[in-house]
Amino acid sequence: MNYRHAFHAGNFADVIKHIVLVRILLHLQEKDAAFRVIDTHAGAGIYDLTGEEAARGGEWLTGIARIMQARFSETALPLVKPYLDIVRSFNSHPASLERYPGSPLIARALLRPQDRMTACEVEGGPRKALIDALRRDTQARVVDLDGWTALPAFVPPNERRGLVLIDPPYEQKDEFERLATGFSEAFAKWPTGSYLLWYPAKSRRATDELARQVADAAAASRPPSKCLRLEFSIAPETTGAGLTSAGLLVVNPPWTLAAELKAILPELEKPLGQGGGGRFRLETPKT
């Protein structure tokens, strides 16, 4: 598939991915030592929800727009609120939705003075937009480099703590294989880092194989690293339908993350689901 992010900004997959991203970065903040975020396929950074591309798909209307209006329990609200507050900070009014921040700007919002970010983007238009969004920012660096090339080149970072976000556009048929290989190469160089891998869940066989390969690589480290798998579906999969299910693999997840997601995800099923179809899976992949 070809996942042009401007068409899908703020959709259900973004909501899930960015909630998890925020939870991981907040956990990294719990120690004073600096950390680095490496975003291998960063995109434009900010997306105009009133523009032609976002309007054409309108996916944000059934994604972030619904979550901004949702009512959460006393347990889930404190876990979701930091993400919602970041989204609101990019809009002119707390109740309005005109712009949606991509992963690099969400991550940037959670960097402390000692933390740094490397954002890779090879496409000229999105890279220029990201450079403009991060202009004069001494903590964030935008690199004109293919994410697959950057992945093994930038690990381990000098900080020795941090997160690698791998979120490719899935324009090539072999993208799952490249993801598994790229992760394994980077993980071999930096087994103590945290990794967040996003994928579209279009084929059960392909996603199971990806999860197995990533979990195998994590388990082979000494000591073995943990891997957490999350998939969220908004509707039953039908032939020819658009993206209805997406997944995340988290290697070296915060020890609190699984419990946090068990509190959050059930409360996202109703607002994000279509025709009552919202459902999630949260598990440790088989090796």
- Mark out the alpha helices in the chain (DSSP H runs): 5-8, 12-28, 52-57, 64-69, 77-89, 103-108, 124-133, 147-153, 175-189, 204-219, 257-264, 266-272
pLDDT level of residue 195 (50, 70, 90 thresholds): very high
Torsion 271-88-262-212 (CA) sign:
positive
| 240 is annotated as contributing to ligand binding | no
> Model confidence over 132-149: pLDDT tens digits?
999 999 999 999 999 999
- Per the model's pLDDT, the better-predicted residue between 237 and 231 turns out to be 231
Rg, C-alpha atoms of the chain: 18
Number of domains in the chain: 1
Instruction: Say whether 242 counts as a known binding-site residue.
Output: no
Confidence (pTM): 0.96
Q: What token pair was written down for 60?
A: 């944000």
CA pair distance 102, 187, nearest whole angstrom? 24
| CATH assignment at residue 138 | 3.40.50.150
- 93 in a known ligand binding site: no
Residues 25 and 107 sit within 8 Å (Cβ to Cβ):
yes
Q: Is 43 annotated as a binding residue?
A: no
Which domain does 59 fall in, by range?
5-283
Residue 231 annotated as binding site: no
Question: Contact at 8 Å (CB) between 21 and 106?
Answer: yes
Q: Which residues are catalytic?
A: 167
147 labelled binding-site residue: yes
Q: How many residues would you count in the chain?
A: 287
- Does residue 95 register a pLDDT over 90? no
Q: State yes or no: pLDDT of 183 exceeds 90.
A: yes
